[in-house]
């Protein structure tokens, strides 16, 4: 892996830690600068581009999380790795919501930290394992389905906060999915699983870079491939939480198409779980009714015509007529032209 001209900023109030990490990273061919406080770090960030910042939470002048927010706002290409000797669920969630690349609790493995820095220095580095470990940590802290769901939804909101045009999208998809599942006659247990899966169906987008997620226009083929990884990423996050096993499966397959042209696994027809087929319709309807920077929202009539046109290709041909019937009979339940609040 090429690491030439990759600069790392180390921020820790302990000079010994700064010295140790500087020597370790220098041995990897990385150029390092050090700061023992937040204001010193801000000054260095303003003067020089850094590929990675490794920062303790507890530092003078400001917290490491406040410095992380500063990077998110003014230095978006710098990936931040947070380290802390006082781990908490709140710090973990806050780090993730502010776009941290990784999160380590002290004492940590220097080898694993070095590997994280190496990955972060690579071009278009992925989110690494932070979302999955965040889900694991939340579940370990909260052995309760409802509390875990609230925590996972908080992570979903961090995705939607990155893309203001999709704010409230998950709640609206859950709204439609619940009523559609009831309308086609699924039992209460399945309806609830579909509703929960809808609330978290886009959790995998937490690993999609901002430059792709918020791009105001068509995506390149490579960017589209990155976006198309989100159902599998969401599945990998949710499957770590045993009470969401059913929902994880629905999330994985919510972009599979009836004719086998979907992703990530190219399932077709009855091989796609019924709940995922409902999610595909609910997700697509809300997307069509939604305002975007590069398109005007469809009217309900236009969205239902598109639903009918794609019956048997993208959507289950048995569910489509029932879905169209429900939307036509319940116009008061339809949220149109969703925009920023």
Residues with active-site annotation: 205
Measured in whole angstroms, the distance separating CA 18 from the mean position of its chain's CA atoms is 31
Are 121 and 127 in contact, with CB atoms under 8 Å apart? no
Are 283 and 201 in contact, with CB atoms under 8 Å apart? yes
CA angle, 156 then 161 then 166, to 5°: 85
Query: Which residues have C-beta within 8 Å of that of residue 221, sequence separation ≥ 6?
Result: none
Largest alpha-carbon pair distance within the chain?
Answer: 69
Measured in whole angstroms, the distance separating CA 190 from the mean position of its chain's CA atoms is 25
Query: SS3 of 52, please?
Result: strand
For 109, how many CA atoms within 13 A lie in the half-sphere containing its CB?
A: 4
């Amino acid at each position: 892996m090429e690491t030439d001209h990759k600069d790392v900023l180390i921020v820790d109030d302990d000079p010994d830690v700064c010295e140790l990490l500087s020597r370790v990273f220098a041995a990897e061919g990385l150029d390092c600068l050090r700061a023992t406080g937040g204001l010193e770090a801000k000054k260095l960030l303003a003067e020089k581009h850094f590929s990675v910042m490794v920062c303790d939470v507890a530092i003078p002048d400001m917290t490491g999380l406040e410095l992380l927010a500063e990077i998110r706002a003014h230095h978006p290409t710098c990936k931040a790795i947070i380290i802390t000797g006082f781990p908490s669920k709140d710090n973990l969630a806050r780090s993730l919501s502010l776009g941290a690349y990784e999160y380590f609790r002290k004492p940590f493995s220097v080898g694993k930290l070095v590997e994280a820095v190496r990955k972060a220095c690579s071009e278009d580095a992925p989110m690494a394992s932070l979302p999955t470990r965040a889900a694991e940590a939340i579940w370990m802290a909260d052995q309760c389905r409802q509390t875990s769901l609230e925590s996972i939804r908080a992570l979903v909101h961090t995705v939607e906060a990155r893309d203001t045009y999709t704010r409230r999208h998950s709640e609206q998809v859950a709204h439609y999915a619940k009523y559609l599942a009831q309308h086609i006659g699924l039992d209460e247990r399945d309806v609830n699983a579909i509703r929960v899966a809808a609330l978290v169906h886009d959790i995998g987008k937490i690993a999609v870079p901002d430059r792709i997620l918020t791009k105001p226009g068509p995506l390149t083929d490579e960017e589209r491939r990155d976006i198309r990884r989100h159902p599998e990423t969401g599945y990998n996050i949710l499957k770590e939480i045993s009470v969401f096993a059913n929902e994880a499966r629905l999330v994985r397959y919510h972009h599979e198409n009836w004719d086998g042209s979907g992703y990530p696994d190219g399932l077709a027809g009855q091989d796609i779980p019924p709940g995922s087929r409902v999610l595909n319709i609910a997700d697509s309807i809300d997307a069509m009714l939604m305002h975007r920077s590069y398109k005007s929202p469809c009217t309900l009539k236009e969205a239902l015509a598109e639903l009918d046109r794609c019956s048997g290709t993208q959507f289950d041909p048995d569910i489509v007529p029932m879905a169209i019937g429900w939307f036509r009979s319940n116009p008061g339940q339809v949220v149109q032209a969703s925009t920023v609040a």
